Structure 1
Amino acid sequence: MARRPSVFVRPLSMDEGRKLQRITRTSKDPVRMRRAIVVMMSGQGQAVRDITSLLQVSEDYVRDVIHAFNERGFDALDPKWSGGRPRRIGEQVRDWICLIARTSPAQCGLTGFSTWSLTKLRDHLVGQGIVAEISRETLRRILHDGGVSWQTTTTWKASPDPEFIPKMRRILDLYDHPPADGRVVCVDEFGPLNLLPRKGKAWRPQRRPRRQRATYHRYDGVMHMLAALDLATGKLFYRIRDRKRSTEFLDLLKVLRRRWPGEKLYLICDNFSPHRHPTVRAWCQANAVELVFLPTYGSWLNWIEAEFAALRYFALNGTDHRSHTEQNMAIAGYVRWHNHRAQPKVNFATDSPIRTWTDYPAKAA
């Protein structure tokens, strides 16, 4: 059988050659890159059979690319693919499938089930005559295209506090406009600090995670960290105690009072009973300390919670301290590192929807 005559790309200019070279080096589209290589090799005088041997493609493919480039130029590197076979399932039926997938099976008459599997959903669609037939893969793609994904159910606890909005706005105002006559400090408890192996993340060889021991008995009890975050400097101040009663909380407040004499303290705190103890309230009233309480279930408004999350992640996760002294030293080391790099706390949740909430908990729910 006679070999078909070889074809070559038309003569290329210097600019076209540089452009083709740039495409072969930087293009992220494998089709565009492969077509540019074919054109560039043909422009260098290599025959069709040499190009097919190197790129492992058919001679027809190489000839089609060369002819297309000779006719349309660089537009031939981006072929306009046809849409393929028309969809057998229309848009209205696809929307209906996504709606059913978001509905509980019990509401569709499938008692005893609380969620769909792809198989059960397919059987239901065929049984109800919504589609004549459909594969699980097609069903999965329809759900994906419709923005329906397999997710874990989560909970949302809306605050029942009737004064949620006023309390939230009071706290946000203190964050945004620190009072000239004093200092805003966020206080809270962190813990309990018990001794146990903690899960964490670390750089390790692939498929060789760090192993932690199992614990069955913990004889050393727990401790508690009472901490304060000064928004003006971003620094943390804390005490670790065996308990977290009103007595320990009041001791922390006295330390803060001595640290900033002559300034009124605005303390952001939650509704934990020691914070509202009559002894604590009386002392605060007599010592220029205003307790600004968070709304019920509104601990996320306390700026110190973010610092606690960082403390847990960097200082405790992945550790297995065998004594409270060892664990307390780790916490102390992290706090020193944090305070050395601390910056004033500004711009609390400036882009968050909570800034526009006026009818909570309706919006939260």
Structure 2
Amino acid sequence: MGRPKAELVLTDDERETLTRWARRRTSSQALALRCRIVLESAAGATDKDVVARLGIEAHTVSRWRARFVRDRLEGLSDEPRSGAPRKITDEQGEEVIVRTLEATPKDATHWSTRSMAAEVGLSQSAVSRIWRTFGLKPHLVDTFKLSKDPQFIEKVRDVVGLYLAPPEHALVLCVDEKTQIQALDRSAPVLPMMPGMPERRTHDYVRGGVTTLFAALNTATGEVIGQIHRRHRAVEFKKSMRTTAGRWHWRGSRLRRPG
């Protein structure tokens, strides 16, 4: 016969809440499933009916039905898992974050896990975990430059606006210039590494001359179109642009090869 089940009756507020949780996009799949189990059971469906309709195991239905009868809506959340209790309090974590963002050590330019651990009385691993959790990297420094051009804002708007809303059937090109790289070679062949002896090369070198490389990258395919010129003038730049335009053209909304 088995033990009789406790009756599952919902109040209007509980039914409304369960329905909202089951349909809400931000709800986890697990919570939405539990809500549907309770709603089906409250509608008079047997455990076998719920299993067939939702495609789940029978013990899952009985478990969450019993949890809801016992704890109501609060019973549908996951119970705390067993394990060691937290040793780092919220106040200690906040102290690490505040000191990292608003202070510097007396004898250094930035905090390390060792210096911060000594400052707040935590272990280095604890400080490292807090930094990783909040994305803090005191050892990294990025640089930026402020333009003194009085028309800087207007120029930025023109460029960014062109990328965000290019003219119809237009091809947007981004052009940049890389600083010079010397073409050097050693005055003698490199001697390869041997057992007990590292690779060896001469300290002096031979200059390989000067040339100019114009390259165009097709971001759609990854193809690079490159041309070498002796000089670096507007004339050579126009030639490279003509060569690139001759290799590619705009057809519809995709960049395709001619023909």
Relative to the length of structure 1, the TM-score reads: 0.35
Relative to the length of structure 2, the TM-score reads: 0.45
The higher-RCO structure (CA 8 Å, 6+ apart) is: 1
